[in-house]
A and B are shown apart, each in its own frame.
Chain A
Amino acid sequence: MRRKVALVFSCLLAAVSMPAAGPPATVEQVASNLICPCGCDNMIVSACVCGTAAQLRAEIGDKLAAGMTAEQIWDDFLRRYGQEILATPPMKGFHLTVWVLPFLAALTAGWLLTRILRRWAARPKADDLSHPPTTIPEDDELLREMQEELRRFQQ
């Protein structure tokens, strides 16, 4: 069980951390991992409509044309503006928490839930003999009414 969880977890992490593979990066792809430094609220460069973003997009275009890769361009921005310019925290050190925590929490909760469900399902059927499990006391009248109606319907 534990190994299964570990496997699922590492797959998820790998899927999340996988860089966009395939054809060379476009301006949109590079710009979508940068936060616009113009002060607009957490807006990415590929979407922001301010002048700064337009300028940065043009700059990214020039750099891609000059043969730089997406990683090189991001590194260059990182040096110039600091960590805040990258739209995602790096997957190392303390910042790994933000990537790992949601999945870790979900998987732990999933594991707990499965255990709880098993335990509930294994509970003894002690009180089942007196009344069927699907009826709630308040519903008795309703149920009678329903069965009555069903009978009428079938006739």
Chain B
Amino acid sequence: MPDLGFYLLLIGFLLTVHALAAGLLGGWRRRPELVASGKRALVALAGVLALSSAALVSALVTHDFSVAYVARHTDSHLPIFYTVSAFWAGQEGSLLFWALVLAVGSAFAVRFNLRGLGPATPYVVASLGGVNLFFVAVLAFSANPFERLPATVPDGAGLNPLLRNPGMVFHPPLLLAGYATFAIPFAFAMGAMASRRLDTAWIRATRRWTLLAWFSLTAGILLGAEWAYKVLGWGGYWAWDPVENASLLPWLTGTAYLHSVMIQEKKGMLKIWNLVLITLTFELAVFGTFLTRSGILGSVHSFSGSSLGPMFFAFLAATGVLSFGLLWRRRELLRSENRLEAVLSRESSFLFNNLVLVALAFAVLTGTMFPLISEYVTGEKISVGPPYYNKVAAPFGLALLALTGICPLISWRKATWRNFRNNFLWPLAATVAGTGLLYAAGVGRPLALGLLAACLFVLIVTGLEFVRGARARRRMTGEAARTALRKLIAKNPRRYGGFIVHAGTAVLFVGIVGSSFYQTAVDATLAPGESLQAGDYTVVFRGLEPARDPSRESVYAKLELLHEGAFRGTLRPARHYYPNSDQPATSVAIRTSPVEDVYVILQRWERNGAARLRVMVNPLTFWIWAGGGLMLLGTAIVLWPEPKHAVAAVRVPKEVVCDAA
């Protein structure tokens, strides 16, 4: 069975070579039957990789410890749920998962999204074939998940205990799926450039893919943060470590791309910039995959140890050179169809949003790579840790939030002083009043106050959009308020879904500000009966409690939580000991509320019954997850198919408003 999986990879490799060659030749010689056969190769590839993946899952589930991957990442006691999730727990498996997502996406894209692309079609097939080719080649020749051990081992090494958590089961595949899906708009962009068909057809054809990639990446990043908070157990959710940064980079450029394509769709401008952005996003997604799985950033020296490094870098360089080379050759064709009417317009606010997002990505990339660069240049090892990113990212975050609020208030084409004043007066006044209240309530740190003011501004502006829209509907149709609101969103999911994402971002930032500026942490070693004070909370230690089940041994600390003297429940943080792991796993106890989380870590316990505890009060952390959920909900609404009739109905008022303004 495992051998079959490997042979399927080889067949897959041939199929990708065929898709690439047939696409190129079909385009060059104008032979549609070749292009059709290239398409079929991509559809077949999806089937072949699905079967190959099934072979890996079957090896995992049947505990075939003759396969190195199975022996390294599972053991015979592992529950079935986690055994299956080991598919993406290691390097080879996660690359297979990447390739699978890409191949299935490619198959759907060539089946359903090629209509209207005309001469670009063969080259889109070829580029999809090319990207698939790279990943299948890596699997078949360098990171084979089906590699056999010299001899079957009696039992496997088991899954890292930290990964035995539902959040961790879904976080990696969502992240990988997000990375892989960005390859589809990239391939379409390459096809468009190669064929000189450079209107908005490729953007329209891949709009849903881009959104799907963004949704998946966002969900993956959020689940990763939640996993860090609830399982890793250090009291935070984002440590700015290289792997986290690697997932943020394509997210930032992808977000910029999502916004700037709107300008091309509406006005035929920014064609070059959009091609640059999708190339960057794809390159960063591949870079992220590579970083996640190689650990090169530990040191420059670990890089040479793996043959994957040179392969990935060669691929990144080749696609980068090809894409930017094509862009250079086509620069004459990429002239804007329209001119900008005023510097102060919504178009330019989109561009500044792009600027901030890309600059932030550049800052994060600089910080992530700097230890390597510095070691190379000065020979000295240095660290670039969270304080660096917090300081550097804060001004960008502030600018981004401010733009999120300002953008919907500026008219398309040209903002006049009058509509500027009309639109800004009330939201700004309300924000100033709200900020004053926050200051009076004790938010004294300037940066925290600034960020919260920006969040407030975004929420007010976004709220107003819904209120105004619903009111206009009610006036015209006489619907009830709730119906008007629902129909407003249903008739224009792109616009209002987008606003929900913006509101979600602001809510998420409220959580980030609360938890990072106002966290309280207390360390103490307590004997049974003793207590400690953290903020307004008292934690009473009632003693240790051992427990044992088939997979692990555990020690729990029994705690009582009091808030200003009133009993608020019990907490049981623990340390777990797994037979196959020399590192104990901590499991934190969290009491969550919209105001603040009480977060308790059992750091150590003593034979005499004492416990060393770390108790934190994390204000507003709840809103990070709420805001994240809102962002995903908004994206889902944007993804919702809009009826053709509704498209017309919603686009008119905007144009009319613009013309009237």
Contacts and interface: CB of A to CB of B under 8 A. Distances in A.
B371 to A, nearest CB: 9
B268 A136 contact: yes
A54 B481 CA distance: 56
A105 to B, nearest CB: 6
Interface centre among B235, B359, B601 (most CB of A within 10 A): B359
Interface string A94-118: 1101110111011001100110011
Contact of A54 (B241, B388, B612): B612
A10 interface: no
Interface in B328-386: 336-343, 348, 351-352, 355-356, 358-359, 362-363, 366-367, 370, 374, 377-378, 380-386
Contact of A102 (B266, B340, B366, B521): B366
Interface residues of A, number: 62
A94 B378 contact: yes
9 contacts: A16-B391, A35-B385, A51-B603, A82-B381, A95-B378, A118-B343, A121-B340, A133-B267, A134-B267
Contacts of B625: none
B374 A121 contact: no
B387 A44 contact: yes
Interface in A50-104: 51, 54, 57-58, 82-89, 93-95, 97-99, 101-103
B658 A134 contact: yes
A88 B343 contact: no
Given A87-B387, A134-B658, A142-B648, A106 B366 contact: no
A109 B355 contact: yes
Given A83-B382, A134-B267, A149-B648, A120 B339 contact: yes
Nearest to B391: A16
Contacts of B656: 150
A88 B388 contact: yes
B384 A98 contact: yes
B236 A47 contact: yes
Contacts of B105: none
A83 B380 contact: yes
B440 interface: no
Interface string B579-617: 000000010000000000000010110000000101000
B200 interface: yes
Given A89-B388, A134-B658, A117 B340 contact: yes
A144 B264 CA distance: 21
Contacts of B381: 82-84
Contact of B387 (A33, A54, A93, A110): A33
B366 A88 contact: no
A57 B524 CA distance: 11
5 closest cross-chain pairs (CB), A and B: A87-B385, A102-B363, A106-B359, A120-B340, A146-B652
Contacts of B336: 120
A58 B656 CA distance: 66
Interface residue tally of chain B, by bracket? 35 or more
B395 interface: yes
Contacts of A133: 267, 338-339, 341, 413
A42 B268 contact: no
Interface of B: 199-200, 233-236, 239-242, 265-268, 336-343, 348, 351-352, 355-356, 358-359, 362-363, 366-367, 370, 374, 377-378, 380-388, 391-392, 395-396, 412-413, 476, 519, 521, 523, 586, 601, 603-604, 612, 614, 647-649, 651-652, 655-656, 658
B16 to A, nearest CB: 33
Contacts of B337: 136
A42 B240 contact: yes
A106 B521 contact: no
Max chain A C-beta neighbours (<10 A), residue from B355, B387, B603: B387
A105 B359 contact: yes
B382 A42 contact: no
A23 B503 CA distance: 36
Contact of B648 (A95, A120, A145): A145
A4 interface: no
Given A57-B523, A87-B385, A134 B655 contact: yes
A47 B338 contact: no
Contacts of B268: 136
A25 interface: no
A145 B647 CA distance: 10
A47 B235 contact: yes
Contacts of B200: 136, 138
A142 B651 contact: yes
Contacts of B655: 134, 143, 146
Contacts of B266: 134, 136
Contacts of A5: none
A49 B343 contact: no
Given A42-B242, A84-B383, 19 more contacts: A28-B521, A33-B387, A44-B239, A51-B604, A83-B380, A86-B383, A87-B386, A88-B384, A88-B388, A102-B392, A103-B395, A106-B355, A106-B362, A133-B413, A136-B265, A136-B266, A138-B199, A143-B655, A147-B652
